[in-house]
Amino acid sequence: MDAKPLRMDVVTIFPHMLDGILGESILKRAEAAGYIQVRGIDLRDFTTDVHRTTDDRPYGGGPGMVMKPEPIFKAVASVREKRSRVILMSPQGRVFNQAVARELAAEEHLVFICGHYEGVDERVREALVTDEISIGDYVLTNGVLPAAVVIDAVTRLIPGVLGHDESAVDESFSHGKLEYPQYTRPAVYEGMTVPDVLLSGHHGQVREWRQQQARERTQQRRPDLLTDERREGILPTGSKQGRSA
- Quote the mean pLDDT of the chain: 88
User: At 231, is the pLDDT very low, low, confident or very high (cuts 50, 70, 90)?
Assistant: very low
Q: What is the pLDDT of residue 193?
A: 96
Does the CA dihedral 215-216-222-224 come out positive or negative?
Answer: positive
User: At 220, is the pLDDT very low, low, confident or very high (cuts 50, 70, 90)?
Assistant: very high
Q: What is the pLDDT of residue 225?
A: 87
> What is the CATH superfamily name and number for domain 170-231?
tRNA(m1g37)methyltransferase, domain 2 (1.10.1270.20)
Residue range 53-75: mean pLDDT, rounded: 95
Domain ranges of the chain: 6-155, 170-231
| pTM (two decimals) | 0.82
Q: Which residues pair with 36 in a beta bridge?
A: 6
Query: Residue 241: is its pLDDT beyond 50?
Result: no
Alpha helices in the chain (DSSP H): 17-22, 25-32, 69-79, 98-105, 122-127, 144-155, 166-169, 196-199, 203-221, 223-231
User: At 1, is the pLDDT very low, low, confident or very high (cuts 50, 70, 90)?
Assistant: low
User: At 176, is the pLDDT very low, low, confident or very high (cuts 50, 70, 90)?
Assistant: confident
Query: Contact 40/13 with Cβ under 8 angstroms?
Result: no
Residue 169's nearest CA partner among 96, 98, 97, 95 is: 98
CATH code of 6-155, in short, is 3.40.1280.10
